[in-house]
């Protein structure tokens, strides 16, 4: 496989990972697995729970239950992306062997730098976003280490500091790690404190764990590939949030987990023990 992240970009990644957002360049040229028709067929092959699609003409902040559907199948939503006014994500593309090979090849180039900082690269996953012109991915956060690779069209990701309760209160983190939705409550006052990252084909952007962000697509349809992974640190942060939710329900005001390289293992191990004993869901 052709090298996708050259030595300069791999070094840049090593210098900034895992807490600093940064732009990278990639050489993932037109690929037979990433054409519009190939992605439509991928959407039709993936399990229903691995496909999400809805209208793309959304505000930055919206409740999950208010997101409307396109009225089309996933295949037709992707094939008609130029005029369908939609946003679609194909989740866990690694379920198909050829896409798993693609994902692991990309992450393999960065794996030494990942594991030097955060240990074993766990649960590699891939997500493909196919969006109509001007589509919006609402304000949300994600639990993975993430590199978003722009393949077609343009978009702007506006990103906010990870772990700052001003943008996502601790109670919201705790609810998410206990089964809540990824979408966050947007306030217009946030806008002036976000960092805009324009992305064109050949650009990639690293997104730290749980960094709030939203995305706006440019005047043409867009295809992006998100390559993600977890680490022991990210799982400990998640379980520490779950433990804090139990403390908060007991009337306490727990301290938020620390960001990397803080060790959140105490609360994480306690929560895991309770979960194993069947004391939490």
The 10s digit of each residue's pLDDT in 266-275 is 999 999 999 9
**pLDDT value at residue 144:** 98
DSSP helix/strand/coil, 136:
strand
The values of phi and psi at residue 76, to 5°, are -70, -30
Q: Are 272 and 235 contacting, i.e. CB atoms less than 8 angstroms apart?
A: no
Q: How would residue 55 be classed by pLDDT, with cut points 50, 70 and 90?
A: confident
For 201-230, what is each residue's pLDDT tens digit?
999 999 999 999 999 999 999 999 999 999
Q: How would residue 70 be classed by pLDDT, with cut points 50, 70 and 90?
A: low
The values of phi and psi at residue 45, to 5°, are -90, -30
Q: Are 213 and 207 contacting, i.e. CB atoms less than 8 angstroms apart?
A: yes
DSSP helix/strand/coil, 6:
coil
Packing angle of the helix pair 97-118, 7-16 (nearest 10 deg): 50
What is this structure's pTM?
A: 0.94
Domain ranges of the chain: 7-230, 235-276
Selection from 209, 168, 212, 169 nearest residue 194 by Cα: 212
Q: Are 42 and 96 contacting, i.e. CB atoms less than 8 angstroms apart?
A: yes
Calculate ∠ Cα 182-185-186, nearest 5°: 120
For 144-185, what is each residue's pLDDT tens digit?
999 999 999 999 999 999 999 999 999 999 999 988 999 999
Residues near 175 by beta carbon (within 8 Å), at least 6 away in sequence: 245
Mean pLDDT estimate for the chain: 94
DSSP helix/strand/coil, 26:
coil
Superfamily, domain 7-230: Cupin (2.60.120.650)
């Amino acid at each position: 496989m052709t090298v996708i992240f050259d030595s300069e970009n791999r070094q840049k990644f090593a210098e900034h990972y895992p807490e600093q957002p940064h732009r990278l360049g990639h050489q993932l040229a037109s690929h037979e697995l990433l054409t519009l028709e190939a992605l439509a067929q991928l959407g039709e092959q993936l399990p229903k729970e691995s496909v999400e699609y809805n209208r793309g003409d959304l505000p930055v902040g919206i409740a999950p239950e208010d997101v409307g559907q396109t009225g089309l199948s996933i295949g037709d939503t992707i094939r008609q992306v130029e005029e369908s006014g939609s946003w679609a994500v194909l989740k866990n593309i690694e379920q198909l062997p050829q896409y798993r090979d693609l994902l692991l090849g990309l992450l393999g180039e960065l794996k030494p730098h990942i594991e030097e900082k955060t240990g074993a690269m766990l649960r590699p996953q891939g997500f493909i976003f196919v969006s109509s012109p001007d589509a919006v991915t609402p304000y949300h956060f994600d639990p993975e280490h993430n590199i978003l690779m722009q393949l077609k069209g343009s978009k702007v990701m506006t990103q906010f500091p990870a772990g700052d309760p001003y943008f996502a209160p601790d109670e919201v983190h705790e609810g998410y790690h206990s089964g809540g939705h990824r979408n966050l409550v947007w306030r217009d006052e946030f806008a002036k404190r976000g960092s805009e990252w324009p992305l064109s084909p050949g650009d990639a952007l690293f997104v730290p764990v749980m960094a709030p962000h939203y995305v706006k697509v440019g005047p043409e349809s867009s295809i992006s590939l998100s390559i993600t992974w977890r680490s022991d640190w990210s799982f400990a942060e998640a379980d520490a949030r779950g433990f804090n939710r139990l403390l908060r329900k007991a009337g306490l005001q727990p301290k938020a987990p620390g960001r990397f390289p803080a060790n959140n293992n105490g609360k994480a191990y306690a929560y895991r023990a309770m979960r194993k004993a069947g004391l939490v869901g």
